[in-house]
Amino acid sequence: MGPTSRLEAFSDGVFAIAITLLILEIKVPPAGVPGELGPALARLWPSYLAFIASFATIGVMWINHHRLFALIQRNDEGLVALNLLLLLGVTWVPFPTALLAEHLLGPDQRIAGMMYSATFLVLALIFNLLWRHARRSGLVVQHVHVDSITRQYAMGPLLYAGTLAVAALSATACLIVSAVIAIYFALPPRLWQR
């Protein structure tokens, strides 16, 4: 089909909007009794934690999207479709983030945590599909890190499946593990080079 520049520009815009929408879920406490603002802000810690974990994850997805498209030299219909599917998932992230922040301390925290974790499991699967399609279709330039990226990405579905299991036990632990996984995917692919 052609170069990937328009696809990348559109994707950057979607990532930027999705990451910005995360902050809208942190609500400013209403004015009340003098001296109550500090405790009200402290009670928002579930929203802060969910925001940080999701910001880190979307940010790292954007970094990895950039890494991939530095190696993908052209696009085809399959790549465009898979990229749109990935962006669909990225735009969905603010909803499970808000859901988890709202229910983190309640009786439905595990369900909210599993919804959150399932979102990133699906995104990891889509990232792998996109990368494998680009490789199989000859859209990727030969580069020393191609195999390293493939190895690193192959761990994504396994790690997020593990996070899903963690969420079944503790939604707070699920958020912490998600942030740690974001760090793993922020690491340079050369670390998986053989």
| Residue 104 identity | L
Number of domains in the chain: 1
User: Confidence band (pLDDT; 50, 70, 90) for 25?
Assistant: confident
Domain span at residue 14 reads: 5-192
Encode pLDDT of 40-95 as tens digits: 899 999 899 899 989 999 999 999 999 899 889 889 999 999 999 999 999 999 99
Best CA proximity match to 70, nearest among 137, 1, 131, 10: 131
pLDDT at 24: 87
Q: Tell me how far apart the alpha carbons of residues 191 and 194 are, in angstroms, rounded to a whole number.
A: 9
Give the pLDDT confidence score for residue 1 in this predicted structure: 63
Asked if the model's pLDDT at residue 144 lies above 70, the reply is no
pLDDT of amino acid 148: 85
26 falls in which pLDDT band (50, 70, 90)? Answer: confident
Q: What is the pLDDT of residues 157-174, one digit of tens each?
A: 999 999 999 999 999 999
Q: What percent of the chain has pLDDT over 90?
A: 66
Structural contact between residues 75 and 139, judged by C-beta atoms closer than 8 angstroms = yes
Region 99-118 average pLDDT = 94
